[in-house]
Structure 1
Amino acid sequence: MEYQAAAFTFVKKGIYDFARKVPNDLRDHDTSGRISFSLRTRKAVLARARAARASRQLDEHWRVLRMQDMDLPGKHMLRIGPQTPAAVPIGVSQPQAADEPALTLSEAVALYLRLKGNNRPATFHRAAERSCGYVIDACGDKDITAYTRADANAFRDSLIARELSGSSITRVFGTVRSVINFAAAEVGITLTNPFAGVYYDRKAGVEDREPLGPEDVRRVQEKCRVADDEARWLVALVSDTGMRLAEAAGLHLDDIKLEGPIPHVVVREHPWRRLKTSSSARVVPLVGMSLWAARRVVAARADDRFAFPRYNKGDTTNANSASAALNKWMKPYVPDRCTMHSFRHSMRDRLRAVECPSDIVDQIGGWQTEGVGHGYGKGYPLEVLAKWLAATV
Structure 2
Amino acid sequence: MLETKTAPFTFVKQGIFYFSRRVPSDLSHHYNAERIMYSLRTKSVAVANSRAQRAAQQLDEHWYHLRICDVDLPGKHLLRMSGRSVANGLGASGKSAGNSVKLSEAVAIYIRLKGKDRPATFHRAAERACGYVIDACSDKDLTTYTRADANSFRDALIAKGLAGSSITRVFGTVRSIFNFAAAEIGITVSNPFAGVYYDRQAGVEDRQPLTVETIKALQTLCRTVDDDLRWLIALVSDTGMRLAEAAGLLVEDIRLDGTTPHVVVQEHPWRRLKTSGSSRTIPLVGASLWAAERIVAEAHDSKFAFPRYNKTDNTNANSASAALNKWIKQHAPEESTMHSFRHSMRDRLRAVECPSDIVDQIGGWQTEGVGHSYGRGYPLEVLGKWLRTAA
Q: Same fold (TM over 0.5)?
A: yes
Indicate yes or no: 2:105 matched with 1:107: yes
Residue pair 1:262, 1:285 contacting (<8 A) in 2 also: yes
The AA in structure 2 aligned to 1:270 is H
**1:23 corresponds to:** none
| Cα pair 1:82 1:141 within 8 Å, conserved | no
Per-residue deviation, residues 116-165 of structure 1 (Å, max 9, x unmatched): 11111111111111111111111111111111111100110011111111
How far did residue 71 of structure 1 move?
Answer: 4.9
Q: In structure 2, what is the equivalent of residue 168 of structure 1? A: 166
| Partner-residue secondary structure (3-state), 2:281 | strand
Distance 1:376 1:158, change over 3 A: same
Q: How does 1:116-195 map to 2 (within 5 A)?
A: 116-195=114-193
Partner of residue 243 from structure 1, selected from 230, 241, 244: 241
The alpha-carbon deviation at position 92 of structure 1 amounts to 10
> CA contact under 8 A between 1:273 and 1:317: conserved in structure 2?
yes
Give the distance between the partners of 1:207 and 1:265, measured in 2 at CA: 31
3-state SS, counterpart of residue 73 of structure 1: helix
Say if 1:263 and 1:124 are closer, same or farther in 2 by CA, change over 3 A. same
Report 1:352-363 matches (<5 A). 352-363=350-361
1:270 aligns with 2:260: no
- For residue 311 of structure 1, the aligned residue among 306, 309, 327 is 309
Matched residue of 1:330: which SS?
Answer: helix
SS in 2 for 1:204: coil
C-alpha distance in 2, partners of 1:104/1:173?
A: 17
Q: 1:320 aligns with which of 306, 318, 321?
A: 318
**What residue number does 1:350 align with?**
348
Pick from 294, 297, 301 the counterpart of residue 296 of structure 1.
Answer: 294
Q: Measure how far apart 1:178 and its partner are.
A: 0.6
Give 1:220's match in structure 2, choosing from 218, 227, 230: 218
Counterpart AA for 1:231: L
Deviation at 1:74, TM superposition (A): 8.7
Residue 82 of structure 1 deviates from its aligned partner by 10
Q: Secondary structure at the match of 2:206?
A: coil
* Residue in structure 2 matched with residue 373 of structure 1 by the alignment: 371
C-alpha displacement at 1:91, in angstroms? Answer: 5.6
- Residue 255 of structure 1 corresponds to 253
Q: How many residues align?
A: 320
Gapped regions of structure 1 (runs ≥ 5) = 1-55, 61-68, 84-88
Alpha-carbon separation, structure 2, partners of 1:209 and 1:74: 45
Task: Give the direction of change, closer, same or farther, for the CA distance of 1:383–1:135 in structure 2 (3 Å limit).
Answer: same
2:374 partner letter: Y
Letter in 2 for 1:130: R
Identity of aligned residues (%): 68
- Quote the residue 1:386 is aligned against: 384
Contact 1:81 1:106 in 2 (8 A): no
Shift of 1:101: 3.7
For the 8 Å contact 1:101–1:143, the answer to whether it is kept is no
- Secondary structure of the 1:208 match is coil
Q: Name the structure 2 match of 1:282.
A: 280
In the alignment, the residues of structure 2 paired with residue 233 and residue 101 of structure 1 have an alpha-carbon distance, to the nearest angstrom, of 56
Distance 1:272 1:279, change over 3 A: same
Distance verdict in 2 for CA 1:335–1:185, change over 3 Å:
same
More divergent stretch after superposition (210-219 vs 114-123): 114-123
Q: For residue 259 of structure 1, what is the amino acid of its counterpart? A: D
Deviates more, 1:191-200 or 1:259-268: 191-200
Check whether the contact 1:242–1:347 (CA below 8 A) recurs between aligned residues.
yes
The 2-side partners of 1:198 and 1:380 are apart by 42
Q: Distance in 2 between matches of 1:90 and 1:236?
A: 59
CA RMSD, Structure 1 to Structure 2 (Å):
2.6
| Residue pair 2:99, 2:185 contacting (<8 A) in 1 also | no
| Moved >4 Å (runs of 4+) | 69-72, 80-83, 89-99
Distance change in 2, residues 1:221/1:151 (3 Å) = same
1:70 shift after superposition: 5.5
Of residues 298-307 and 257-266 in structure 1, the stretch that sits farther from structure 2 once superposed is 298-307
Residue number among 184, 203, 214 corresponding to 1:205 in the alignment: 203
Indicate conservation of the 8 Å contact 2:99/2:187, yes or no: no
**Change in 2 beyond 3 A, CA 1:82/1:267:** farther
Counterpart selection for 1:73 from 55, 63, 84: 63
CA 1:82/1:109 → structure 2, altered by over 3 Å: closer, same or farther? farther
- One-letter amino acid matched to 1:320: N
- Asked if the contact 1:350–1:392 (Cα under 8 Å) also holds between the matched residues in 2, the reply is yes
Does 1:233 pair with 2:231?
A: yes
Amino acid at match of 2:218: V
Unaligned ranges ≥5, structure 2: 1-25, 31-58, 92-96
The range that moved more, 287-296 or 327-336, is 327-336
Q: CA deviation at 1:311?
A: 1.1
CA distance in 2, matches of 1:386, 1:114: 43
